[in-house]
A and B are shown apart, each in its own frame.
Chain A
Amino acid sequence: MNGKDNSKLLHDLRSKCASLKSAAELYKDCSPAEKKEMLALMNAAAADIARLLAQLGQP
């Protein structure tokens, strides 16, 4: 994996983590219906983060 690809991966990782952090801050104020929707999106973001971390760890 070259440096350019690495920097894109890191960018995506930062972006997903930032969104997850902001969503976690908002979560407590959401209505039950919004919480359900938010949780699904947060799970998807977490899965993306795990995938990106796996890619980053590949030689």
Chain B
Amino acid sequence: MNKLHILVLEDDKLAQKVMAAQLAAHSVEVAGDLPTALKKIAGGAYDMGFFDLMLGPDDDYSGLKAIAAAAARGLYCVVVSSSDSDEIIDRAYELGARDFYAKGNEESNVADILRKFIQNRKAAGAADIFTSAFITCDPETRAAAGEALKYAPTELPIMILGPSGTGKTSLAKILHEHSGRDGAFVSINCSAYTEDLLEAELFGHKKGAFTGAAEARKGRLLEAHRGTLFLDEIGTMSLTMQMKLLKAIEERSFYPLGSEKPERSDFRIISATLEDPQDLIARGKMRFDLFQRVHGYTINIKPLSRRACDVAPLLQHFTKNGRRLSFTQEAKAYMEAYSWPGNVRELKKFTDLLSSGVEGRVDLETVQRHLKGRPAETAACAGDDGLYAYALAHGLEAALDKVSGDLITRSLRENGGRRTKTMADLKISTRLLYATLKRLGLDGEGEHK
């Protein structure tokens, strides 16, 4: 069952006790008067609130003011009151209440309200996520993301694998939003910092801890208390930093730079890497014990070129609040067959270019001009005649080598250089992979040396 963060506004001590008992499985905060409730609403992150309306013998339905404030913050507001005139019920719903119950049947009513709320939220989350937050209509990607969402409300660490620009950060944020954790989503790209800076960024520092530390600063680990720490490109972290992070994860405490006082933080880890973690471990770039700590559930996001059905919905999503675009059939076909090496990020940039610089309907020539210099997969298949001519000119063995080389480099590119994934996808041996790379003069990621 999902643990909810619930606010109860109720002035009567006995009614407070009754509500607290009915909501015992959840995290409940009780406000006995309007100012306390407004303060809690402004500073808290509640899923829902139960509101009494008359707060004291001479009160004039001041609970309604709390409903307005809570609804504006997105809380699911439920009125539990003895004031059940039509006028008051109408007013409460106008202000944003979602349910209205008369006091006196809390045992059955509260359980029903919670069950309905949790079911609705789950249904809404699953249905909307792929059309509003993580755009995809690819069945495999939907299934993988849907499976990952099941683990969102758990403490299990999640590792997201996928090439650059596929939406790993967006997915991590969605997982946090579905986690029920009331702390913040704190993201850090490990590749953007040197070892020293990363340590200061993660653990924080005291004033004067190092040259340039003019002020004390809270680290990301502490910022993520009761929330989620998203470690992007975790594979780029030095082994020393990995060891320090592992200790902080295991002990849930750490020392900010220059401090002798440990800090405690209850954070949940979501990590991402565009490289194959097993490969990183094999190459000594990733500690096995850290990997064990951060890979509770693993989700693999496919590159955009392998979910061509997502190109159109993503385009629509990127332009929904701005200038809408229209493409000729040829332009659409070219985009769907294009390799999108920069994935969704490249598509977004491409959309921005078209939105601001192209008039009228977008044709094939315009699309090709903006995607110039990048290999369209159609070219690889262009095909059969060209390959036949190549075989006639260089021999069958050379032509077959060319085909295997093209397929392996494409797979490596789409898998972000992950060799074990490429070997699994193409069902080839390590020997064949390395022999092909050597023959073509390519590095481990399919790029020319």
Chain A residues in the interface with B (C-beta under 8 A) = 8, 11-12, 14-23, 25-26, 30, 37-38, 41-42, 44-45
A20, B81: Cα distance in complex, Å:
14
Partner of B82, one of A11, A20, A45: A11
Partner of B13, one of A18, A25, A44: A44
| Chain B residues near A45 (CB-CB < 8 A) | 12, 14
Known: A14-B103, A26-B21. 9 other contacts (CB 8 A): A8-B58, A14-B82, A15-B82, A18-B104, A19-B18, A20-B14, A22-B105, A26-B107, A41-B17
Query: What are the nearest 7 A-B pairs in CB distance?
Result: A18-B104, A18-B103, A15-B82, A14-B82, A19-B15, A41-B14, A19-B14
Interface bin, chain B: 20 to 34
B191 interface residue (CB < 8 Å to A): no
A8/B57 in contact, CB under 8 A? yes
Nearest A residue to B53 via CB reads: A11
A23/B18 in contact, CB under 8 A? yes
| Chain B residues near A20 (CB-CB < 8 A) | 14
B83 interface residue (CB < 8 Å to A): yes
Chain B residues in the interface with A (C-beta under 8 A) = 12-15, 17-18, 21-22, 52, 54, 57-58, 81-83, 102-107
A22/B104 in contact, CB under 8 A? yes
A26, B24: Cα distance in complex, Å:
12
Known A18-B103, A18-B104, A25-B107: A12·B57 in contact at CB below 8 Å = yes
| Chain A residues near B54 (CB-CB < 8 A) | 8, 11-12, 15
A15/B103 in contact, CB under 8 A? yes
B14/A21 in contact, CB under 8 A? no
Q: Which of A8, A15, A23 has the most CB of B within 10 A?
A: A15
Nearest A residue to B80 via CB reads: A18
Q: Which of A8, A19, A45 has the most CB of B within 10 A?
A: A19
Give 19 A-B contacts (CB < 8 Å), ordered by A residue. Answer: A8-B54, A8-B58, A11-B54, A12-B57, A14-B82, A15-B52, A15-B81, A16-B14, A18-B102, A19-B15, A19-B18, A21-B104, A22-B104, A26-B22, A41-B17, A44-B13, A44-B14, A45-B12, A45-B14
Known A8-B57, A26-B18, A41-B17: A15·B12 in contact at CB below 8 Å = yes
| Chain A residues near B15 (CB-CB < 8 A) | 15, 18-19, 22
Nearest B residue to A15 via CB reads: B82
- Distance in Å: Cβ of A34 to nearest Cβ of chain B: 8
| Chain B residues near A30 (CB-CB < 8 A) | 21
Partner of A23, one of B17, B52, B105: B17
Nearest B residue to A20 via CB reads: B14
A30, B22: Cα distance in complex, Å:
12
| Chain B residues near A44 (CB-CB < 8 A) | 13-14
A22, B102: Cα distance in complex, Å:
12
A45, B412: Cα distance in complex, Å:
73
